[in-house]
Amino acid sequence: MKKTLLYFAIICTAWSNAQTVTQDTTATQNNQKNAAQNILNGTASKGITVGGYAEIDYNQPEGANGKMDVHRLVMLLGYKFNDRVQFVTEIEYEHVKELYVEQAFLNYNLNDNFNIRGGLMLVPMGIVNEYHEPTTFNGVERPSMDKSIVPTTWREIGAGVTGKFDEVSLRYQAYIFNGFSSLNGEKTLGGSNGLRNGRQKGAESIINTPNLSAKIDYYGIQGLRLGLSGYFGRTQAEDAVQETPGADVGVTMLGFDARYINKRFSARGQFVQTYIKDAEAYNTLNDADLGSEMMGWYLEAAYNLLPLNKTQKLDAFVRYENYDTHASVTDAGISKNLSYERNEWTTGLSYHVAQGAVVKADYQWFDNAVAGNEVKGQLNLGIGVWF
């Protein structure tokens, strides 16, 4: 704990050197954009747009070795063919050695109200799955429920429509995607990570039943942005087993999220509930422990400790998370694993040294529902950039 307070004190001391220039004190519209939206909304009439983001982390668990990691290094490339047609791609290195294509889609813009998209795209569920650039969220690590319940970063191949109606303050998205894979090599669905092992990520993805994903965002109240999302379908099974009972399961995921900002104060929260159909047959066939329901939620509040006339920001925040991949096992034919029912506290600082550059420090407490479980702590330090 002494080490934690020392790191926090170093960052707090840095406030006094923050630049003093005018900042928009009425900026309460919560018009947050992600990397793909920045590229699509670029002003260039034609040609290439380049961007990127990166995260470098230090994690120090109590009583264990610390780890330092170039967690992500991402290159964003966009090409604007004309005023209607654009291509966006996101290429990501994780942990220096793992290479992924996180997005790669073609967008055809008829007008602000209607766009057609196709390719590898983010599934619109929750906040962080779409807005995961390091300067857009507090904490060195993304919220844990976004990893185990949503599961971030969740992207699949599909096609659909998106647009907005400013006169009624609504943005909509609706896509048809391929679904989760029932089996990923020897990895099954279930356990502490829920559906995470089933993400196909656009890599030779199999499909036998299309899945529907949709989200509506409302931004008609100053400073407030509300999101309602849904995902409906079944997992995908290989031809050789797709008629076998338990080869696939039905997935219904519902989510609600909210973000609020009023000058120096901001808050966010989300709730996601997932229902699994045919979990018992799946568990029997694959010797798995997939629950019949999964649930997660969190609430977070933050306050900028610097005056609004500074270009820099120092957000002090606290977040509580509760999530369970065995929220119900009634129709799963298995016993509930109490270690999958988890809660976490995270508190710390996000020091935005410039627009697009952040230094972060936080401390986390991890707990679960197992009787006599020992609460574990972890110190996290990191830097993030997005340009």
Name the pTM for this structure: 0.90
Confidence of residue 15 (pLDDT cuts 50, 70, 90): very low
- Cα separation, 353 vs 372, whole angstroms: 42
Instruction: Indicate if the pLDDT at residue 72 is higher than 90.
Output: yes
Instruction: Indicate if the pLDDT at residue 8 is higher than 80.
Output: no
What pLDDT score was predicted for residue 18? 37
Q: In sequence order, what are the residues at sequence separation of 6 or more whose Cβ sits closer than 8 angstroms to the Cβ of residue 144?
A: 321, 323, 342, 344
* 15 or 294, which is more confident: 294
Confidence of residue 30 (pLDDT cuts 50, 70, 90): low
User: What does the pLDDT look like over 117-157, one tens digit per residue?
Assistant: 999 999 999 999 999 999 999 999 999 999 999 999 999 99
Q: Mean pLDDT, the chain, as a whole number?
A: 92
**CB contact at 8 A, 71 and 55:** yes
Closest-CA residue to 227 (of 300, 323, 124, 134): 124
User: Which tokens hold the place of 79?
Assistant: 């090409």
Q: DSSP for 264-286? A: TEEEEEEEEEEEEESHHHHHHHH
| Segment 235-256 mean pLDDT | 95
Instruction: Indicate if the pLDDT at residue 9 is higher than 80.
Output: no
User: 24 — phi, psi (to 5°)?
Assistant: -70, 105
* 213 or 22, which is more confident: 213
Q: Which domains does the chain have, with CATH numbers?
A: 2-386 (2.40.160.10)
| Segment 223-252 mean pLDDT | 96
Confidence of residue 40 (pLDDT cuts 50, 70, 90): confident
Instruction: Indicate if the pLDDT at residue 41 is higher than 50.
Output: yes
Q: In the beta sheet, which residues pair with residue 313? A: 352
